Structure 1
Amino acid sequence: MTHQELVSCVGWTTAEELYSCSDDHQIVKWNLLTSETSQIVKLPDDIYPIDLHWFPKSLGTKKQTQAESFVLTSSDGKFHLISKLGRVEKSVEAHCGAVLAGRWNYEGTALVTVGEDGQIKIWSKTGMLRSTLAQQGTPVYSVAWGPDSEKVLYTAGKQLIIKPLQPNAKVLQWKAHDGIILKVDWNSVNDLILSAGEDCKYKVWDSYGRPLYSSQPHEHPITSVAWAPDGELFAVGSFHTLRLCDKTGWSYALEKPNTGSIFNIAWSIDGTQVAGACGNGHVVFAHVIEQRWEWKNFQVTLTKRRTMQVRNVLNDAVDLLEFRDRVIKASLNYAHLVVSTSLQCYVFSIKNWNTPLIFDLKEGTVSLILQAERHFLLVDGGGIYLYSYEGRFLSAPKFPGMRTDILNAQTVSLSNDTIAIKDKADEKIIFLFEASTGKPLGDGKLLSHKVMTLAVFNINSHFFFQINVFILRRKTWNLPLYLKQVCG
C-alpha cells in the first residue's frame, strides 16, 4: 500500500514502525521488519493532515515500550487526539484556518499548536485550552519546545522567537533568514536550534539566537529539518534532496531521491534511521552508516546496519564483526570495543575480536556509552548503568528529577572511581557517585559557577574535575579553568 497524494507528515512508534499521513486522507503503518504496510484509518474527506507528533513515552518505571497515541493537526482548524489503533479520541477546534504544527512537551503534560491565524496556544494533554501564548499577524509555520519545556520557539515570517511560558519573562527575537522560515527544531541534548527557510538555507543557532552555521543557498527552499535524538546529527529535506549533517552544520552525505519536496523528517527513536514525507506520495527511508571509531592503531567502521569492519593500521589486518540486530551505539577505548544493538550489548577485547562477551539489554535504545579503564557506562531511557568489561553489573546511580533523555558526553563523565553528572535543572550542581556502588559521594552535590562542560580524568591516581565556566565580571567575560580535587 502506498499513498496516492502528497505525504504531509511521518512519525515513529518504535525503531521499526512508522505512521504516515497523506492528503489522500489515509493513515498508513509501515513495518520495517516485515516490509508490510497497512491502513490504520481513513480520515473524513474534509480532514487534510498537516502535522503528526506521538505522545512521549512516560519516563521512569512506567515507561512504555512504544508510543500509544498521537496528535494530528489538520487544515480544518482542528487538532485530533488519535490512538495507535486509529480511533479518534477527541477533536478540538483550535485555530482559524489550518493548524500548521502541534508538539507535545517532553513530559507529555502540555501541547503547543500554531496556525495560519498567527496564534500560539498551549493545551493540556486532554485537549483543554490553557493559554494563548502569543498572537501575530503572520502564519506560524513551525514550533518547538525548549529542552526544559519552559520555553517555546516559533516562526514569525523571517524572524525566530523564543517565548517563555512564564508571563512577563523576557522574549528573545531575531532575524534568522532572508525568506519565510518554514521549519524549526530544538534539540533537548545539545540545546541547539535548527531553522529552514524559503531563502534555500538551513542554519544552526544556539539557544541565545547566536548563529553557529549557515548553509550555502540550495536550488530550492529547505522544507524540513530534524535533529537526531542524541543531537550529534541532523537531517535536511528539500526538493529531490535529503542531506545528513554533523551538529556543527557540515554535510556528511547527500542523496537525491526522486521524491519531490520532503515536507517532514522524523528520526527513529534509536537515531539509526530517518523517514521523510514526500510530495510525490512516497515515504523515503534512510539508514545511517559509515560511522567510524578510532583508538591507537585500531579503526572500526560501521559498514552496514549489522556489520562492522575492524582494521589494524599497523599491519592492515581486517576483521569483520557481524551482529544479529542493527548497531545503535558504539565506543572504542581502553582496549575494548563496546557495541549496543537493539537487544544486546557486545564487549570486544582488541586481543580477540572473535569471542565477544554478550549480555541482554533491559531497553534497546542506548543513547550514550562512556568508557573508563576498569568499566563502562550505558545510558538508556530507563536509567544509567555501570558494567565491568566482564559484563558484570556494578551500579545504577540515580538522583531526583533525573532525565536520561538529555544526558550526553558533556553532562556525564566517568573515571575508575567516580561518576559525575551535571544537573540540567540547576547548572550550578554536579552530582557525584561512587562508580562501584552508585551511592552519592558525600551529599552528592558539588556547588560551583555555571558549568558548561564536564570531564573527570585521572592524573597520577588522583581524580580531578575539569570545569569550564563563564563568569561575568563587570563588562568582561573570562573563561577560567578550575581544577577541583575530589578524592585521592
Structure 2
Amino acid sequence: IFAHVLEQHWEWKNFQISLIKRRTMKVHNVTNDAVDLLEFRDRVIKASLNFGFLVVSTCLQCYVFSTKNWNTPLIFDLKEGTVSLILQAERHFLLVDGGGLYLYSYEGRLISSPKYPGMRTDILNSQTVSLSNDTLAVKDKADEKVIYIFDALSGKPLGDGKPLTHKTEIVEIALDQKGLTSERKIAFIDKNRDLFITSVKRFGKEQKIVKIGTMVQSLAWNDTSNILCGIQDSKFTVWYYPNTVYVDKDLLPKTLYEKDASEFSKASEVVSFVGNHITIRRADGSLLHLHISPYPAILHGYSGSSRWEDGLRLCRFVQDQTLWACLAAMAVANQDMTTAEIAYAAIGEIDKVQYINSIKDLPSKESRLAHVLLFSGNTQEAETLLLQSGLIYQAIQINIQLYNWER
C-alpha cells in the first residue's frame, strides 16, 4: 500500500501553506488574502517553512522558494530521494537523507556534509538535530549522553573535536539562533526531564553545564533573539535571558515569565517560537497560540548593539521588574557597570549596587575586570587574571575574603 498525507499545513508569520494534492501546494498570504498555487513535477515528500524561505523536497529534486517571490523557485537535484528531515536556519538549511547530512545555502550551493562515527541518519528528527547560522548539533544514537557539535560552514567538529558529554541520556537538544559564534549556547533536556544550558565553544577548559529548569517536556529558542521557552510540569515558562546563569545566578528567577499550562495536555510540544508568537501542539494534535511581551526581544536588540541608554529608557517606560532584571544581567555580561547599577537599584538589590560602586572605584582596569568576574562567580578566572597582571596582593586578598586559606 502506498499512502500520501494530504492537507499538511505549514505556518510562518503571515503565510499559511497547505498541501492540497500530492504535487500541489496552496500558499495563502493572510495580510492581503493573496493565494498562489505551487505545482511540482513529482510528489512532495518533505517541506519546511521558516526564515522567509519554503524548502520542499520531492523524490528527485529540492525546491527553494522565497516568500517574497513564489514564481521562480531555485531547483537542484537530490542524490537520494528519501529526505527524512529538513531543518532551517537564517542563512542555510540542512537536508537529512539515507546517505548523510547535507548543508545547503538558500542559493542551492552545498556548503558542507558533516560526518561522525557510527552515523545513522534514518533515526534523526527535529529533537535530536539542531541548526544555527554557524553551528550544527547532533545527538548520538549509540551513546545517548553525547552530542556532536560541528562548524556548519566547514563540517568539521568544533573546538578540540571532543563531543559534548552529559551524565545522563539526553532527550532533546536546541541551539540558540542569534548572537556571536563565540557565545553560541545549546539547551538540552535529559531523561530526568531537567533542562540544562551550556556554551558550545570549548577551548581546553570545561564549560559549566548549568541546570535552569526541571520537569521540562519540550523547548524552543526564539528565531530573532536568544529567548528560550519551554513547557514545565504544570506551567509554560519563558527564560527571557538564559545567559543570566553565567552572570548572576540569583537573578535567574527574576528573568522568567510563567503562565499556567493546565490547558495543555501531558504530551504537548512547542512547535515554533517566531517573534513573540508561540505555537504549541497538544497531544490530540490541536494547535494553541500564545503571545508574550515584545519588550524583552527589543531589549536583546539594544544590548546586542550596546545601546544602553535606549535600554534604560525602555525599562523606565514599561516599568516591569522582569525587564529590569534582564537589563541588569545583560549589562554585567557586557561589563557596562553604570547601566547594571541603575538596573540593580530598580529591582531593589542594594547589596549588589554597593559592590558595583566599589568596583568602579578600583584603580586599574585589570582589577575592575577581575572583580566583575568575581561578581559573576568565576573565582578561578578572576584569580588567574590578577596573577597575570602581577596584582598578587589582590589575588591573595580575594582568597582571604573567600576563606580559601589553602591558596
Task: Specify the TM-score bucket, using the shorter chain as the normaliser.
Answer: 0.5 to 0.7
Cα deviations across residues 131-158 of structure 1 (Å, max 9, x unaligned)? 32225124332444456x2x32223332
| CA distance in 2: counterparts of 1:388 and 1:204, whole angstroms | 25
Q: List alignment gaps of at least 5 residues for structure 2.
A: 246-251, 315-328, 340-355, 374-378, 390-407
Superposition CA RMSD, Å? 5.1
Taking the TM superposition and a 5 Å limit, the aligned residue runs for 1:294-333 are 328-329=294-295
For the pair 1:130 / 2:115, whether they are aligned, the reply is: no
| CA distance in 1: counterparts of 2:97 and 2:311, whole angstroms | 55
For the pair 1:156 / 2:153, whether they are aligned, the reply is: no
Contact preservation (8 Å) 2:147, 2:163: yes
Contact preservation (8 Å) 1:77, 1:99: no
Change (3 A) 1:278 1:41: farther
Change (3 A) 1:175 1:187: same
Change (3 A) 1:477 1:20: farther
Match of 1:230 in 2: 225
Match of 2:12 in 1: 11
> AA paired with 1:101?
I
Match of 1:70 in 2: 53
Cα deviations across residues 403-436 of structure 1 (Å, max 9, x unaligned)? xxxx9532363759xxxxxxxxxxxxxxxxxxxx
For the pair 1:366 / 2:298, whether they are aligned, the reply is: yes
Contact preservation (8 Å) 1:103, 1:144: no
Contact preservation (8 Å) 1:224, 1:262: no
Cα deviations across residues 59-90 of structure 1 (Å, max 9, x unaligned)? xxxxxxxxxx4042557475431121544602
TM-score by length of 1: 0.47
Change (3 A) 1:173 1:78: farther
Match of 2:63 in 1: 80
Contact preservation (8 Å) 2:64, 2:106: no
> AA paired with 2:83?
A
Report the Cα offset of residue 51 of structure 1.
Answer: 3.2
> AA paired with 1:128?
R
Change (3 A) 1:99 1:390: closer
Contact preservation (8 Å) 1:70, 1:83: yes
Report the Cα offset of residue 129 of structure 1.
Answer: 1.8
The one of 248, 267, 280 equivalent to 2:273 is 267
Match of 1:53 in 2: 50
Cα deviations across residues 187-229 of structure 1 (Å, max 9, x unaligned)? 43463212357875644333247532275456xxx45522464
| CA distance in 1: counterparts of 2:149 and 2:312, whole angstroms | 45
Report the Cα offset of residue 47 of structure 1.
Answer: 1.6
Contact preservation (8 Å) 1:230, 1:408: no
Change (3 A) 1:411 1:71: farther
Contact preservation (8 Å) 2:220, 2:228: yes
Contact preservation (8 Å) 1:276, 1:284: yes
- Which structure dedicates a bigger proportion of its chain to strand? 1
Report the Cα offset of residue 171 of structure 1.
Answer: 2.4
For the pair 1:288 / 2:190, whether they are aligned, the reply is: no
Counterpart of 1:467 in 2: which secondary structure?
A: helix
Match of 1:309 in 2: none
| CA distance in 2: counterparts of 1:229 and 1:388, whole angstroms | 17
How many residue pairs get aligned? The number is: 308
The one of 93, 100, 108 equivalent to 2:85 is 100
| CA distance in 1: counterparts of 2:172 and 2:7, whole angstroms | 21
Taking the TM superposition and a 5 Å limit, the aligned residue runs for 1:71-470 are 71-74=54-57, 76=59, 79-84=62-67, 85-87=69-71, 89-92=73-76, 93=78, 96-105=81-90, 108=91, 111-117=92-98, 119-134=100-115, 136-138=119-121, 139-142=123-126, 143-145=129-131, 149=134, 151-157=135-141, 158=144, 159-164=146-151, 165-166=153-154, 167=156, 170-176=160-166, 181-189=171-179, 191-196=184-189, 202-207=195-200, 208=202, 210-213=208-211, 216-217=214-215, 222=217, 224-227=219-222, 229-231=224-226, 233-236=227-230, 243-246=236-239, 247=242, 252-257=258-263, 265-269=271-275, 272-276=276-280, 282-289=286-293, 328-329=294-295, 366-368=298-300, 378=302, 384=307, 408-409=330-331, 410-411=333-334, 413=336, 415=338, 459=360, 466-468=368-370
Percent identity between matched residues is: 9
Contact preservation (8 Å) 1:114, 1:121: yes
Contact preservation (8 Å) 2:149, 2:164: no
Report the Cα offset of residue 175 of structure 1.
Answer: 4.6
| CA distance in 2: counterparts of 1:129 and 1:227, whole angstroms | 26
Moved more, 185-194 or 164-173: 164-173
Report the Cα offset of residue 329 of structure 1.
Answer: 2.5
Contact preservation (8 Å) 1:73, 1:99: no
> AA paired with 1:47?
V
Change (3 A) 1:275 1:102: same
Cα deviations across residues 95-148 of structure 1 (Å, max 9, x unaligned)? 55224132235xx3xx2414142622222331122332225124332444456x
| CA distance in 1: counterparts of 2:65 and 2:161, whole angstroms | 33
Moved more, 111-120 or 155-164: 111-120
Q: List alignment gaps of at least 5 residues for structure 1.
A: 55-68, 290-327, 331-364, 370-377, 392-406, 417-454, 471-475
| CA distance in 2: counterparts of 1:286 and 1:275, whole angstroms | 6
Contact preservation (8 Å) 2:96, 2:102: no
Contact preservation (8 Å) 1:79, 1:94: no
Q: Which has the higher contact order (CA 8 A, sep 6+)?
A: 1
